[in-house]
Structures are given as C-alpha cells and as structure tokens.
A and B are shown apart, each in its own frame.
Chain A
Amino acid sequence: MSRESSLHRRRNQLLILVVVLSNVIGNVALSHGMRQTGSIVSASPLDYVRAFAKPWTVAGVLVLVIWMVSDLALLSRADLSFVLPVTASAYVLIAIAGHFWLGERISAVRWLGILAITFGVVLAEETPSRTTEAPPPEHLP
C-alpha cells in the first residue's frame, strides 16, 4: 500500500464533504416533500409523478443528483469499503442538526449510535483510501 499524496487526500476530503452535505440536504428536503404528498405504495408511475409536483421533493431530487455525481467521482478515486463508513458521517450531521436546530430530543441510545458512527468514520479515515488499481475483469459482476 503506497502512501497517499497530501493533494490526493485533500481532494478526497473535499469530495467527501460534498457527498455528505448533499446527502443530508437532499434527504431532509425529500423527506419534507414526501410528508406533504401523503402515502404512496404503488406500482403506478403516475403516483410518483404526483409527488414531484411538490417543490421540496424537486429540490431534494436535484440535490441528490449532485450527491450521485460526487459519490461516483469519489468511487473513481477510493475503495467502496473506505467510502461507505467515511460518508456515514451524514447520519451524525442529521441527528445533531435535528437536536440543535429543530429541538429534537436525542435519547442516550441514539447518542451511543452517534458515538459508534463517529468512531467508525475515524477508523476508516486512518486507512489508505485506495488499495486497488483496477478490479480484475474476471471478478467484475
């Protein structure tokens, strides 16, 4: 495992920040929009089109497009087993934002969950971001 250059690492950190923030903002906006829409459990695409009439749902989807592109860019530079735990810091941000901005109560068990995720993120951050050059073709799905 070669040591990563600091420029490569800084660029990865920038991408991680964009992935995490767009994930948080997109999911919160989408959740807000879906609550305005009401229950949808249907195979009909028209029911989903109805959900897109809500501005919060549209905003959420647009921000999640940014998340998708930045996540793919990060996956081109780093391992999946590195990206997964590191970008999980989005959960911590959602919980803490809910606590301090929306006054939501966080139980002791939820604080324990936040602590576990934070340790997981720190542990993954200490490993090299990439351990493969390209997956061997015979192992590709």
Chain B
Amino acid sequence: MIGMRWVLVGIIACCNTVGDVLNTAGMKRQGELEEFSPRAVGRMVWGIFRNPLVMGGIAALAVSFFALLSLLSIANVSFAVPATAISYVLETFLARHVLKEDVGRRRWAAATLVACGVALLQW
C-alpha cells in the first residue's frame, strides 16, 4: 500500500500540472471574465464546453481527482495533500516556459516557499 500511495501521488502531481497549464492557456484564449453577473458566468461556462484546451485540462484534473479519491481512502489527508507540493514548482516552470508568463524572482520565491511550506505540513 505504501508503494501505491506514491504511484497515486505521481499521477496526481502530473495530471494537476498538465490540467492547470491547459486550463490557463484555454481561459486566456477564451478571454477574461470581466463582470461577475450570472449571465456572464453562464456565458463563460458555455464557452468552456466548446474550448478543447479547457476540456483537456478538466479531463486531466478529473484523472487527478479520482487518484486523490483513491489516495484519501488509503491515506490521511495530511499525507495526501502535502505530498503533491512538487506540482507548485513544476507548474511555475511551465508557466514561465510554456505560457510565457513573466515569472520574476518574487514569484519563484513565492512558489518555492509555498512548496516547502506544503511539504512541511506533513509533520
């Protein structure tokens, strides 16, 4: 069961990373949600169903979600959630190199601090 835990952690981290990058790329293409009226949110949700990047991202997050369900059934939440800390660094790397975001020193420091902090929460 201990080996299976880490296999599930690997699946969760990879699928989370791919899902978040696809979702960000898709939502930037779809355009910014400028107002929060029910009509605008409904339009955004309708647009999501016709957006292949976001649908791909949601599919990856769904795989991650089911892996998390499995992990939560064999491990405590205090193991399950912190073990995925590595995805913060992976996603920041991909945000810089794939999404071409301006990731300065502050953002790198923020991502590193959060990843370390999340890992420390296991103890």
* Chain A positions near chain B (C-beta within 8 angstroms): 1, 11, 14, 27, 30-31, 34-35, 37-42, 48, 51, 64, 68-69, 71-73, 75-77, 79-85, 88, 91, 94-95, 107, 109-110, 112-121, 123-124, 126-127, 131-132, 134-136, 139-141
Contacts and interface: CB of A to CB of B under 8 A. Distances in A.
Contacts of B58: 68
B110 A85 contact: yes
A112 B58 CA distance: 33
Contacts of B100: 132, 135-136, 139
B9 interface: no
Given A76-B28, A113-B120, 17 more contacts: A30-B69, A34-B69, A39-B74, A41-B74, A48-B69, A75-B20, A76-B33, A81-B95, A81-B111, A84-B92, A88-B114, A109-B120, A116-B117, A121-B114, A135-B29, A140-B29, A141-B53
B107 to A, nearest CB: 5
Contact of B110 (A73, A124, A131): A124
- Dominant SS among interface residues on chain B: helix
19 contacts: A27-B81, A30-B69, A64-B65, A79-B101, A79-B102, A80-B99, A82-B107, A85-B113, A88-B114, A88-B117, A88-B118, A91-B121, A94-B81, A95-B121, A117-B114, A126-B106, A127-B106, A134-B28, A140-B53
- By Cβ-Cβ distance, the 6 closest A-B pairs, closest first, are A113-B120, A116-B117, A120-B113, A117-B117, A131-B102, A124-B110
Nearest to A57: B69
A136 B55 CA distance: 20
- Dominant SS among interface residues on chain A: helix
A24 B15 CA distance: 20
A115 B117 contact: yes
Contacts of A136: 100
B45 interface: yes
